[in-house]
Structure 1
Amino acid sequence: MPHDKVRVTRALLSVSDKAGLVDFARALNARGIDLVSTGGTHRTLSEAGLPVTEVADLTGFPEMMDGRVKTLHPAVHGGLLAIRDNPEHQAALAAHGIGAIDLLVVNLYPFEATIAAGKPYAECVENIDVGGPAMIRAAAKNHADVAVVTDVSDYQALLSELESGSGTLCGETRRRLAQKAYARTAAYDAAIANWLAGEIGVAATPAYRAFGGNLAQGLRYGENPHQPAAFYRAPGIVRAGVASAQQLQGKELSFNNLNDTDAAYECVAEFDPVRTAAVAIIKHANPCGVAEGNDPLAAYERALTCDPTSAFGGIVALNRTLDAEAARRIVEIFTEVIIAPDASEEARAIVAAKKNLRLLIAGSLPDPRAPGETVRSLSGGLLVQGRDNAVVDDMPLNVVTKRAPTEQEYADLRFAYRVAKHVKSNAIVYAKDGATIGIGAGQMSRVDSSRIAAWKAAEGAKRLGLSESLALGSVVASDAFFPFADGLLTAVEAGATAVIQPGGSMRDDDVIRAADEAGLAMVFTGHRHFRH
């Protein structure tokens, strides 16, 4: 166990991020702590007028090879690793003239930011830190005697403890900092390993899989109150979304809020904002209404019509800037979260009147075609797969029935398939004129999903005072093939006129025959969109 108190008399500082560095180092110096530093850090501190020893003066070797070699030396690592109450270690320090280092302050080369910016391969490699992680791990291993700081946000707390402890740091602090240090280098190495796996073409199945992230926020609990939870951002974020969004107002986001908001924004990103405004309303990670419109308000009104009961307490995602007209309408019913690329000042003021409503601004939309990974835990392991980045606009639609879809049916079929991609399997989506009118999600049988979607379309007609179901003249999307004709026949009974599905069933011929007998147009995509 670490000693309870360790006095700090000498600190080594070597940082890439210079934020707060001079003030921090000045406070250390004011406590009589000797400062040692490297390269750019030494230059910054010297220019600020602080007395600081350059590492080259400790090692007797100049920095070389463009700074690749500077701290990998016994004069540094001996000072970090020596156990203070071990006589042999102390004798070695004395014999070789090595001074002990009590505090290490290091933050690493910005590798994650470099790959996120899409820099060339050689530049990415040059931003792989070697000496920094080596020193961090050495200091963290010897946390019984050494404190290691890897995060600028820890500067003030460390200074406060030095002040209250008369120049000492307690064992609990050093253990906490050591844990954080190892986690930081693990996340850093994970980013490097995963980037390199992609560069050499083994991203799908590397022999060892590493994941890392930094804490975005601790959560009150997970899906249920008895489950602890936290939200971590992946290093080097390259896709816009919940992890990169700025929360402008509202209560702290919960585990379920974050999960549902991610589902909503991924869904609405399927719709090109240049072509049309689109809104997705999500409840329990499933769309309960999605629609296109000439503007955000029109799209929201049409999305809400699909299932206003389920929309209560839901998540609203927009593919365009939230304007005042849409904001005014959205806040009329209880909504948990609104996420959009941006929001006008007037819209922000309108939402601000609902103090608990969260408003997230993501800056841009995630690219639905972008590669990436999804991860799911199993007992004793992980399931990792590539993101479902298949987009219906890129798929050839193979007409398999005697009748081909009309131009309007084609447009609605593509719309419905975009939505079906984001509905939990088994997924059935009824759509008409660029809006969902009935969604069946997550059922154990596809025919049940089809019945539920048809029932929701009929309920929608009742709400509007119509005598016929909204499904009359609609199209239907299925995320996977119809194993039997019964699910298709349910759509026929509801009044649908066209169907889009992947195809691939051993009974495709039976399903096609049933479609022809009913006068349906049906297309196969060849791409399944299971979402479990």
Structure 2
Amino acid sequence: MATALISVSDKRGLIPFAAGLIELGFDLISTGGTLDVLHQASIPAVAASKVTGHSEILGGRVKTLHPRIYGGILSRRNRDHSAELEAHGIGEIDLVVVNLYPFREAVKDPSINLTDALENIDIGGPAMVRAAAKNFPVVTVVIDPEDYDTVLERLKLGEIPDRRILARKAFAHTAAYDAAIVRYLDADEEQPDTIHLTLNKVETLRYGENPHQAGSLYFEEGASGFWGAVTRHKGLAPSYLNLFDADAAYRLVHELEGDACVIVKHANPCGVALGQSGLEAYQRAFDCDPKSAFGGVVALNCTLDLDVAEAIMDNPKADVVIAPHYAEKALEVLRSRRKAMRVLEAPTPFAPYRTLRGVDGGFLVQDANLVPRDRSDWRVVTKQKPTEDQWVDLELAYLVCAFTTSNAIVLASEGRAVGVGAGQQSRVDACELAAHKAADRAVGGACASDAFFPFRDGLDAAAAAGVKTVIQPGGSVRDDEVIAAAEEQGLAMVLTGMRHFRH
């Protein structure tokens, strides 16, 4: 006669699973609320206290921590262990079905206090799961209701469930549980001594950045993020680069006020514009750099309607379109043409709080590069002051610059980024590249730099493109020289005091 110990917080599928075990001849041991549910369903089960000979104590804090439970789970079923169990009157436990107190769910409630959070930390459950997983050659451990049907099916066929896979899943479960507790207790630490991440694989991608690289999408357990709520309306599954670029585009477009569109290619914005409508924003963004927009990601922060959908179809292909809402007729157009194009609907992104970058043997960890836009923290350092219209372009260029690979220069005019100089080792080269892309469209516009101008040559290149305002962090030993150059050319210059390198 086989024995199963069942103690679960997640009661999904419990009754049919337990009933199936009874049909297979299992004796059931259970605890607390699980035992009550089984008895209410007329499923016979013995209380763990009957097995241990000791009632639950401390309000249920101690139920199963007893040699009669752990001896039954940890026995290797060899002659010596079997003799020892018999000498102590301990029965073997063949199947352990346990999931844990819902600590992770409980601490999502911002009003929870420390006392209540601690009460949701399971002790006996993880111990039983780990004991069963350690002894997986002879004991089956099940922590996920999604596995009930498979386990029952194998048992009904007289087969042994794949205990190694179930044990691996069990250890991952307890590791993630402990990591969640550490994260909760570390919540007040900006840079804690240890960082425990639990990443759950949600999708195998066709490949990584290149076809010879394997790639997958993982979600961080316990973290908030918009990707978990994305609806895929059509198209191929997004690739690694699609997801990378769409993330950058969607986060940038949601930093903009009013109807806006961002087009990203290879992680850098190549078109950014504000508009009176989604259509105007898209058309203006596409016109910023039509050549680079080919095969890029189009992101909007407003409803994508029929007019926008038709405009996208009329232009060279986009690999991905992402927006918070779609008009039904727009979806019909997008579904009927360019079947490979990915059409994604997503909620507003959450502000990131930390970034990690892999290095050999470790990670570089930093706070997220948030972009404050409080003018009261900025200084106008020239006699010439920006007008209100010029402030719009200054703030747009400054924001786009923070989302562009360094060294970065962005030229903006009339509510659009007309020239993006990205990823240059020399700042003056970034200025010249941005000016080249802008041509004559930067005249009267704004220039943003992600870091200070080390020499006046970069500023001179921007001035030659026709800009009238400049925004940069300042902080160079040659700030006075650069400010003097701005005065000389009649430019208004704003210093933010905050650098925005991006790599």
TM over 0.5: yes
Confirm or deny that 1:296 pairs with 2:278. Answer: yes
The change in CA–CA distance for 1:136 and 1:323 in structure 2 (over 3 A counts) is: farther
Match of 1:466 in 2: none
**DSSP 3-state at the match of 1:343:** coil
CA deviations on 1:418-453 (whole Å, 9 max, x unpaired) are: 111111111111111221111111111111111111
**DSSP 3-state at the match of 1:77:** helix
Kindly report which structure 2 residues correspond to 1:67-216, keeping only aligned pairs within 5 A, or say none. 67-85=60-78, 87-122=79-114, 123-164=116-157, 166-169=158-161, 173-199=162-188, 202-204=189-191, 206-216=192-202
Q: CA deviation at 1:395?
A: 6.2
RMSD: 2.1
Confirm or deny that 1:470 pairs with 2:441. Answer: yes
2:117 & 2:327 partners in 1: Cα distance? 37
Match of 1:342 in 2: 325
Do the aligned partners of 1:143 and 1:178 also contact (CA within 8 Å) in 2?
yes
The change in CA–CA distance for 1:254 and 1:487 in structure 2 (over 3 A counts) is: same
CA deviations on 1:226-285 (whole Å, 9 max, x unpaired) are: 2222211111223x422442334332222222211211122112124xxx1122111111
**DSSP 3-state at the match of 2:442:** coil
2:33 & 2:310 partners in 1: Cα distance? 52
CA deviations on 1:87-144 (whole Å, 9 max, x unpaired) are: 3322332233322222222233333333334342333333332222222211111111
Do the aligned partners of 2:199 and 2:221 also contact (CA within 8 Å) in 1?
yes
Confirm or deny that 1:362 pairs with 2:346. Answer: yes
Give the letter aligned to residue 293 of structure 1.
G
Do the aligned partners of 1:188 and 1:212 also contact (CA within 8 Å) in 2?
no
2:103 & 2:190 partners in 1: Cα distance? 18
1:451 & 1:244 partners in 2: Cα distance? 41
2:423 & 2:330 partners in 1: Cα distance? 35
Kindly report which structure 2 residues correspond to 1:131-530, keeping only aligned pairs within 5 A, or say none. 131-164=124-157, 166-169=158-161, 173-199=162-188, 202-204=189-191, 206-238=192-224, 240-272=225-257, 276-332=258-314, 333-353=316-336, 354-367=338-351, 372-393=353-374, 396-458=377-439, 469-530=440-501
Give the letter aligned to residue 345 of structure 2.
I
Match of 1:42 in 2: 35
Confirm or deny that 1:29 pairs with 2:22. Answer: yes
Q: CA deviation at 1:66?
A: 4.1
**DSSP 3-state at the match of 1:105:** strand
**DSSP 3-state at the match of 2:186:** helix
**DSSP 3-state at the match of 1:364:** coil
Do the aligned partners of 2:386 and 2:469 also contact (CA within 8 Å) in 1?
yes
The change in CA–CA distance for 1:297 and 1:19 in structure 2 (over 3 A counts) is: farther
Q: How high is the sequence identity, in percent, across the aligned residues?
A: 49
Do the aligned partners of 2:197 and 2:221 also contact (CA within 8 Å) in 1?
no
2:422 & 2:59 partners in 1: Cα distance? 58
Q: Which runs of 5+ in 2 are unaligned?
A: none
Give the letter aligned to residue 92 of structure 1.
E
1:130 & 1:56 partners in 2: Cα distance? 17
CA deviations on 1:153-205 (whole Å, 9 max, x unpaired) are: 323332333234x1423xxx211222222222222222221221123xx231x
TM-score normalised by the chain length of structure 2: 0.93
Q: CA deviation at 1:352?
A: 2.5
Q: How many residues align?
A: 500
Do the aligned partners of 1:498 and 1:521 also contact (CA within 8 Å) in 2?
yes
The change in CA–CA distance for 1:400 and 1:256 in structure 2 (over 3 A counts) is: same
Do the aligned partners of 2:421 and 2:433 also contact (CA within 8 Å) in 1?
yes
TM-score normalised by the chain length of structure 1: 0.88
The change in CA–CA distance for 1:295 and 1:107 in structure 2 (over 3 A counts) is: farther
CA deviations on 1:306-347 (whole Å, 9 max, x unpaired) are: 112222211122222333332332344422222223333333
Q: Which runs of 5+ in 1 are unaligned?
A: 1-7, 459-468
